[in-house]
């Protein structure tokens, strides 16, 4: 009985062959950090708000997915986690399985989700083949069984072009991008960066690339916005942010008159010992720096801050632009040049200031000067970059058009 009912539930469609509730599936491999999950969550929220008939499901490997709230008609499935070792290999995060077994388990879960959720649109974040090729069986099923639209979503910058070309060749990502994907959405502006520059992609593929603009973030309806003057310090997920946190704390330790006070969000991936060491230093600053480990409502902190000291991750950059805050970016340069490229291009357009280790030096005095100069630093909006924050509007309109719910105007 239950099996029959389940089969009936899976086969329910509207008369025109579409689901009564259109379905959008997001794949976000998330082996490390918060960026992929937060980007997919923002996109899913915008799409489901654009039409209340749409449901969205996010497949994610993020170990902190459960700490986030998800909007109405958006849910997530947590894939077994993997973690990267210092030598660049991967291990199962918790299961104790060989990485090949973990990948096979993840691939089976992804394919089963695709078969049962049966999406009208699949949006894949960054990796055309998924983690270690785990997405290929699901892509093959979609191509052979039904006409789902398959989208490759790329952030504005991936890496140095030469490095990226070697990586995509090794992962067979070029062939997958050409074979499976109907369109590619670049969540940025061509005037800042083309993330595929240097890749040997066909003219047909490039004709189906659409630069959407950056993904706007909005104030949250829930939670309080701080009103006391402060500078927000955020290394994103925190896994590679210890050097920046150390530099900020050194600045406040060296200059007892440094203002305004700081709110420091370590991020969930800062190591326990490093955080313990930082906590002791924060305690000695007598309230001039307040620190928390994780904040799921970062939007409200951005809204209340006088300025931002941050690393150069994609989501943090979107928040700087969205809340129009003067920002100093301290980009990482290893293992990828992604953050450095993004920050340097943005500084060239007058959107942010970069604390460049090659040009400025990463010294306490350089950080002191950067914090002191924040109040007089121009806001990003003064740079007047056309189409800067239209990404969510573009994606929502294009999704509705693909689902046959609304004829989009001006989508190119």
Least confident segment among 88-97, 193-202, 239-248, 250-259: 88-97
Report pLDDT for 6.
42
User: Distance between CA atoms of 165 and 57, rounded to whole angstroms?
Assistant: 31
DSSP state of 295: -
DSSP, residue by residue, 328-351: EE----SS-SHHHHHHHHHHHTTS
List, by residue range, all CATH 3.40.50.2000 domains of the chain.
10-216+389-403, 231-383
Q: Which CATH superfamily is domain 231-383 in?
A: Glycogen Phosphorylase B; (3.40.50.2000)
Q: How confident is the model at residue 223 (pLDDT cuts 50, 70, 90)?
A: low
pLDDT at 377: 94
Residue 185 confidence (pLDDT): 98
Residue 412 reports pLDDT greater than 50: no
Tens digit of each residue's pLDDT (9 = 90 or more) over 156-198: 999 999 999 999 999 999 999 999 999 999 999 998 999 999 8
CA 160 to chain centre: 18
Indicate if the pLDDT at residue 248 is higher than 80: yes
> Which structure tokens are listed for 319?
């928040």
pLDDT > 50? residue 16:
no
According to the model, what pLDDT value does residue 203 have? 96
Q: Per-residue pLDDT for 18 more than 90?
A: no
Instruction: Of 10, 44, 53, give the one whose Cα is nearest residue 25.
Output: 44
The mean predicted confidence, pLDDT, of the chain is: 88
Q: Which CATH superfamily groups domain 10-216+389-403?
A: Glycogen Phosphorylase B; (3.40.50.2000)
Highest mean pLDDT among 258-272, 289-303, 375-389: 375-389
Mean pLDDT is lowest, of 16-20, 250-254, 279-283, for 16-20
Q: Which of 29-33, 167-171, 236-240, 371-375 has the lowest mean pLDDT?
A: 29-33
Residue 84's pLDDT is 73
Residue 32 has pLDDT above 60, yes or no: no
Among 372, 348, 363, 85, residue whose Cα is nearest residue 244: 363
Specify whether the CB–CB gap between 251 and 226 falls below 8 A: no
The pLDDT-based confidence of 106 (bands split at 50, 70, 90) is very high
pLDDT grade for 35, boundaries at 50, 70 and 90: low
CB 235 within 8 A of CB 204: no
CA distance 116 to 119: 9
Mean pLDDT of the region 140-157: 92
- The predicted structure's pLDDT at residue 294: 75
According to the model, what pLDDT value does residue 14 have?
41
Q: Are the beta carbons of 152 and 205 closer than 8 angstroms?
A: no
How confident is residue 409, by pLDDT bands cut at 50, 70 and 90?
very low
């Amino acid at each position: 009985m239950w099996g029959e009912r389940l089969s009936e539930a899976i086969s329910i469609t509207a008369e025109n062959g579409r689901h009564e509730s259109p379905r959008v599936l997001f794949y976000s491999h998330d082996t490390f950090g918060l960026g992929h999950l937060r980007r997919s969550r923002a996109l899913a929220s915008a799409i489901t708000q654009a039409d209340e008939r749409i449901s969205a499901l996010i497949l994610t490997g993020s170990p902190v997915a459960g700490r986030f709230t998800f909007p109405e008609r958006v849910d997530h499935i947590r894939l077994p986690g993997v973690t990267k070792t210092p030598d660049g290999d991967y291990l199962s995060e918790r299961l104790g399985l060989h990485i090949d077994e973990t990948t096979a388990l993840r691939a089976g879960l992804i394919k089963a989700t695709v078969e049962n959720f049966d999406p009208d649109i699949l949006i894949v974040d960054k990796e055309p083949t998924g983690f270690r090729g785990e997405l290929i069986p699901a892509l093959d099923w979609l191509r052979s069984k039904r006409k789902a639209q398959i989208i490759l979503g790329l952030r504005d910058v991936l890496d140095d072009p030469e490095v990226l070309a070697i990586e995509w060749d090794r992962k067979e990502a070029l062939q997958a991008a050409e074979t499976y994907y109907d369109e590619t959405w670049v969540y940025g502006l061509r005037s800042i960066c083309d993330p595929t520059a240097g890749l040997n992609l066909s003219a047909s593929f490039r004709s189906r690339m659409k630069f959407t603009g950056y993904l706007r973030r909005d104030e949250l309806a829930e939670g309080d916005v701080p009103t006391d003057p402060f500078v927000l310090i955020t290394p994103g997920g925190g896994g590679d942010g210890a050097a920046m946190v150390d530099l900020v704390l050194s600045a406040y330790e060296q200059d007892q008159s440094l203002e305004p006070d700081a709110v420091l969000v370590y991020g969930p991936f800062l190591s326990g010992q490093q955080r313990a060491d930082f906590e002791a230093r924060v305690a000695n600053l007598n309230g001039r720096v307040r620190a928390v480990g994780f904040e799921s409502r970062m939007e409200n902190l951005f809204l209340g801050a006088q300025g931002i000291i941050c690393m150069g991750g994609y989501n943090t950059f979107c928040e700087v632009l969205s809340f129009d805050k003067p920002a100093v970016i301290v980009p990482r340069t290893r293992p990828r040049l992604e953050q450095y490229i993004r920050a340097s291009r943005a500084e060239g357009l007058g959107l942010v200031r970069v604390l460049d280790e090659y040009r400025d030096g990463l010294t306490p005095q350089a950080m002191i000067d950067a914090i002191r100069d924040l109040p007089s630093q121009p806001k990003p909006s003064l740079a007047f970059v056309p189409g800067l924050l239209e990404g969510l509007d573009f994606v929502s309109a294009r999704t509705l058009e693909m689902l046959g719910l609304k004829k989009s105007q001006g989508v190119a």
